[in-house]
Structure 1
Amino acid sequence: METPAADTEKVPTVAAKDNNFVPFVLNGPGINFQTNDNLKFLKNSAALIVPVSDSVNIGIENLKTFLTSNPKQKVTITGYATSDETNTTKFENLGLARAEDVKNYFISKGLSNTQFNTKGEIINSWKTNLDTLLGPAEYKFETIDTMATASDEWSILKDKINANPLILHFSTNKSSENLTADEKQKVADIAKYMDHVKDATVLIVGHTDDVGNREANIALGQKRAEFSKNYLSKNGIEASRINAESKGPDEPAGENTTAEGKAANRRTVITIK
């Protein structure tokens, strides 16, 4: 009796590939994250199913880091719902309600409300697993208006300069070019601003104490303003863009009855206009 051959052909077992997923994708300038898991919603529901998977939460943490570093960046969350679903929410459609719930989840994770917009769309179908919709939301990273951003940055610098202006103090009838490190930084900030904002001008106002007659002090204040103008022009600011004027003793910063007050009044104040 023959023994059955031991080398009968074996058919390899092939695991079935599971394609029943919608990836969670965050893809914008400076961020690229993807995982096959996603946020999920039950059919007809606007409430996000929790807990959310660890892999999706890792993506949300990446998004938080990215948006914190790029405060001007905005993301539009588009939520989807199918035409056969019922909307029982206060929102105009179930897709928008889902987008709002996704946004609220992001906010609960520490992301900024101001960096998100939401909208909703109704479509014919979406990938599901039984009665669960898989990731019915997409994320669009809006293009940043770099010109507006740059304008904001220069506006912030101008506000910084004018909120804490460069003030140069003078001994009686004397002036000095010995600036402190803080004063030199303020000069550098003014020069930087003027270099980028071509229609800006610098205003220098000279002031004095009240010793002597007013006309002489007006002239002295002008002399101090002109001295400061000359200093700035030697440090990168065009003289034609600097206006120098004098208030003399008319706008004291301190009391003229004390030595300290008089010293505070002998000054020029330099701002951006």
Structure 2
Amino acid sequence: MSKKALYLLGIAITIVLGTFLYLKFCCNCCEKAITDDTPKTVSDTVQEPNFVPFVLNGSGIEYHTNDNLKFLKNSAKLIMPVSDSVITGIEKLQMFLKSNPKQKITITGYATSDETNSTTFENLGLARANDVRNYFVSKGLSENQFNTKGEILDKWKMNADTLLGPANYSFEIIDSTAVTNNEWSALKDKINAQPLILHFNTNRSSQTLSDAEKQKVADIAKYTENVKDAVILVVGHSDNIGNRSSNIALAQKRADFSKDYLSKNGIDSERIETQSKGPDEPIGDNGTAEGKAENRRTVITIK
């Protein structure tokens, strides 16, 4: 083979080898560079904010702040102090209600199913709703423009052991003539037909209420809230152990305890009358332990 042919062959081999090496190494470098420079796709997952806003939204009022009223787990008492932004909302609500006397707000309080209700209310959510209402009233709002109810949910947003804003506020205009006297009369008849009767241990004037008794308290509170001239009558009774004067005094203590209990659960104490019958009106046989237990009682009715 001539020198010229070898020379041309060498050039051809060089070109082929160079092309191969370029494709193998340099293009990989370029591809890597392009890949490295390409922005990575980031997931659009948005972390849920750890707050529940305080919202007042009715016809003629709209207020929103990310802060809120708070409760410790298992507690029905508001955590104090309340933030300035929430107080601002309450002040706006006060002005709104004064300008709209027919406006009614239902406060729904919430509690979770794993919380313990140690209050005298039917459930912890209702207890919280009543504490919120009481706080609003302490700020100058009219008690008559609020209703309360409670709900139990599986869960609620929390920060450590604190529930964030477990309450809702629904607005509606109430025509007072829409609720007839017959409806409230029927509720009064129901209360008096099966009055709230609290039984007491010997020489004791304190009592833990059952769920059924708590519901009767709620009915009485509802009646007095809507019938403004309603008066509650609490009559204390005793068995016949000891002298009559001592039993009269003990039965009065039981009546006073029941009055105090009712006043702490939303009933104006000035609308509660107490009496003591002592051992004079037994309903059980004082000759038996069971009969004496029946006689140690207070009876709560609507006058």
Q: What TM-score does the superposition give when structure 1 sets the normalisation length?
A: 0.48
Q: What TM-score does the superposition give when structure 2 sets the normalisation length?
A: 0.43
Give 1 or 2: higher helix fraction: 2
Larger Rg: 2
